Structure formats: C-alpha cells, structure tokens
A and B are shown apart, each in its own frame.
Chain A
Amino acid sequence: MLSRLMRPGVPIRLARSGVKTAVMSNYRFFSADIRRMNKEQPKEETPKEKPQKEEHSSKKEAEIQPKKHHKPLSRMPIGTETDYSKMTIKKSPIEYLTWKSIVLFVAVGAGLTWLFNNQKEKIKLRNEAAANRGAGKPLIGGPFDLVDMNGKKYTDEDLKGHFSLIYFGFTHCPDICPDELDDMGEIIDGLKEKYKLEFQPLFITCDPVRDSPEMMKEYLGDFHPKILGLTGTYDDVKKCCKAYRVYFSTPRNVKPGQDYLVDHSIFYYLMDPEGKFIDVLGRNYDVKTAIEKIKDDMKAYVPENEREKAKKGLFGFLYK
C-alpha cells in the first residue's frame, strides 16, 4: 500500500510526515484522482506540492505562488484548495453491491427469518410445557400403582420412555366414553400415518369395583388394539384420579350386580417420556385438531438432559 502511495505524482509529504497508516489508507482511493490532477497541471506547478524539497529555492516559490489560483475550479475538490491531506472522500456503497453480495444478503436474511420463526414457536411450546411441569412440583400427574388389563403391575414408572395419552372413564359408560375412545383410536392412527409419531394410549377406569382387568380387556377389544386399560383397588384408583385432578364419584360400597353410573371428568392427558404432564385436551378438540396439537407438543419436547444443557448454554436466557 505504501509503495502505491509513493508513486510519482503523489505528494511525498504524506508519507514523510508520519501520518498513521489508518489515515493514509483513506488516500489510497483517490490517489488516482490526485495523479490525474497532477498530470493535468502544468509541469512547473508540481514542485509546490513538495515544499520541503524547495526550501532553499525561495525564488522559484515566489514565482509559483500566484499561479496557484489558475487551477480550474472544476478540478478542485470543494473545500480543499491546497492541503490534500485533509481531503476525505466517502467510499461509495455501490462498490459492494455485486450480485454475489445481494444473493448472500437475501439468502442469509431468509434463512434467519425462517430460523427465528421456527425457534420462536418451539420455545413458546417448550415454555408452556416447562410451566406445566411446574418446576419439580407437578400439578397434574404423580405416582400411582395400578394393574393393567393383562394383570401386570403398571405404575407411574412405566410412563417413562414414551409419550402417553391418558383417558379416564369406565366400561359401563353410556355414550361419551365409547365416543372418546373411538376418537382416541383415530388420533393414534392419524398421528402415525401423518407424522410417524407414536405414543402409549392408556384408559384408566374410574369404576374399579366393576372394572376388573378381564372386563377391561373385553371392553377395550372393541377399540384400538394399542389402548391399554388400567385398573386397581378402589383406593389406588381414587389416588390416581386425585393425582390427575379427575372428578371421582364412584360409590365405595356397591352391592354386586348393582347398576349405577359414574360421573367423571372427560379429558385426555398428554404425558412426556419422563412421565410428566405436558398438556390436557378436552372435549373442545376434535380428532383433526387434537392430532395437530399433540404433534406440536411432541415435536417441541426436549429431553431433560438437553434442557439442562440448553439452560446453561449460550442461549440459556431464552429458556428462563
């Protein structure tokens, strides 16, 4: 760069007076202009630019001085008649507007916009799930100790490792439970076909006195084969319903063969692979919207260790 500045015609004073390189770099861009200007000037004018060299020839200088103003005005940068070191020219932005830079700008912009929108939605759902997790104090869900329809023990530990959709009902339910269980079957198939997502559907009875494991198995035979029925003793079921905030109105002492109905809440509970509550779906969701909602919740789920890592990471503030 320096060698360029030192080309003939460029004022030597600049280099010699010890101007900082940063400042000098400004001159690089118009050194061509200066050169051209110098070229167009009469030969005897150039010495004026090098005063140090001409100190001893004061006679010559006196001769040159009046000629200074003969330079055509159109060729003089405005505001700077003599001292080129004070001249500044702004770099033209056009210089960078090549097609490559435009393509890069658009690509990066579009990419970032997509990324931000995508992440924003995910973070929103994640925060919702985190809020529902209630910082280690689950509002819905909790330990339970039941028996599945095959007679095997089924506890809250068995919820771990997969998503679960829990529905509370009873086999002698006149019209709502069968409807809901049919919907559950459609949700299971819909999610699998459309999004390749799977979960464990559970049907927990609120009527443990009548609903034995065998009874559950027989009853659920009419519905989707993946639905697993859970039952237990009166107290275990009552405890489980309480943990899930399910209204439980089953009478304790019913005579064998007594015919009665059970009042219960009708919700689907979506649980994450840690066995913790994510979301609740009421009667307001139809099959199609329930599929979308569950898909969104499942996609937004992040395993616990990754969640902790993200909190400690660079973008941790986003998760707080």
Chain B
Amino acid sequence: MGLFFADEKSGEAPNRKSREQCWESRDIFFKCLDNIKVIDPLDPEKGQEIKKNCGKEDQQFQKDCVASWVKYFKQKRPFDKKKAKILKQAKDEGAEVIQMSGYRK
C-alpha cells in the first residue's frame, strides 16, 4: 500500500488551507465568468472568450486545485446556475418557499 503514497503529488493529504485556497480561486474565476455571462466553462464555443477575459483567473484556479477538482467544479457550475435560476424564477412568480422540518435550507 505504501507504494502508492510514496508519490509526490497526490501523496499529500488535502488540508483545510489548500481546500479553502482552491475554493477561493474557484470563486474568483466563476465571478469572472459571471461578468462575461458565461454559464458553462467547458462550452467549446465560449473557449476563446473565456481565455481572453478570464485566462488569468482560470490559470490560478487550475494551479490551486487538483485537476479532478477543476473538472468537477467546472461541470458542476451549470447545474448550480440552473438551480439558482429555477429558485429565482419561482421567487419572482411569488412562490412561497416552504421550509420542511428537518430539511436543510
């Protein structure tokens, strides 16, 4: 087993500090995407636009997070956006948000 952990890159246990650093870079990059109104960072049509406007933020994001996390967060973004949109739409239509007991807000 020890053989696998002798590796230098993933041998290091992810810690709180590196996690928070990663999340921060992610948020900066996503904020940049919001500014240029890009929802899906993996959309090939928007590739050039992202590189032009948020290239620096994207690089920092990839530097602070391991590749699998970058991929995960980038894939997750459209879903989170969609969810937020649905909730906002429901709120604008005057839908009442019911907090079910025992459920997260």
Contact = CB atoms under 8 A, between A and B. Distances in A.
Contacts of A286: 103-105
A95 interface: no
Of the listed residues B11, B23, B65, the one surrounded by the most CB atoms of chain A closer than 10 A to its CB is: B11
Contacts of A257: 7-11
Contact of B23 (A175, A219, A222): A175
Given A178-B19, A209-B4, A259 B10 contact: yes
Interface stretch (A53-61, A119-127, A210-218, A297-305): A210-218
Interface residues of A, number: 29
B105 A261 contact: no
Interface stretch (B38-46, B56-64, B67-75, B90-98): B67-75
Interface in A194-229: 209-210, 212, 214-216, 218-219, 221-222
Given A172-B14, A284-B103, A285-B104, A256 B68 contact: no
Contacts of A210: 4-5, 10
A171 B67 CA distance: 15
B104 A212 contact: no
Contacts of B6: 256
Contact of A172 (B3, B68, B104): B68
A174 interface: yes
Interface string A154-172: 0000000000000000011
A170 to B, nearest CB: 10
A214 B13 CA distance: 9
Nearest to B72: A174
Nearest to B102: A289
A65 interface: no
Main secondary structure of the interface of A (DSSP, over half): loop
Nearest to A214: B5
A244 B9 CA distance: 31
Of the listed residues B7, B9, B13, B68, the one surrounded by the most CB atoms of chain A closer than 10 A to its CB is: B13
B5 to A, nearest CB: 5
B88 to A, nearest CB: 22
A215 B72 contact: no
A222 B22 CA distance: 16
Nearest to A281: B102
A256 B4 contact: yes
Contacts of A256: 3-4, 6-7
Contact of A289 (B14, B67, B72, B101): B101
B15 interface: yes
Nearest to A212: B5
A284 B103 CA distance: 5
Contacts of A209: 4
Given A178-B19, A233-B1, A257-B8, A215 B102 contact: no
Contact of B2 (A212, A221, A261, A293): A212
A165 B65 CA distance: 30
Contacts of A215: 5, 11, 13
Nearest to A210: B10
A174 B21 CA distance: 12
Contacts of B3: 256
Contact of B67 (A218, A233, A259): A259
17 contacts: A171-B14, A174-B65, A178-B16, A212-B1, A212-B4, A214-B5, A215-B13, A221-B15, A256-B4, A261-B68, A261-B69, A284-B102, A284-B103, A285-B102, A285-B104, A286-B104, A289-B101
3 A-B pairs closest in CB distance: A218-B13, A257-B7, A222-B16
Given A174-B72, A212-B1, A219-B15, 19 more contacts: A171-B13, A171-B14, A173-B14, A174-B65, A174-B73, A175-B23, A175-B73, A212-B5, A218-B15, A221-B15, A222-B15, A222-B16, A256-B3, A259-B68, A284-B104, A285-B102, A285-B104, A286-B103, A286-B104
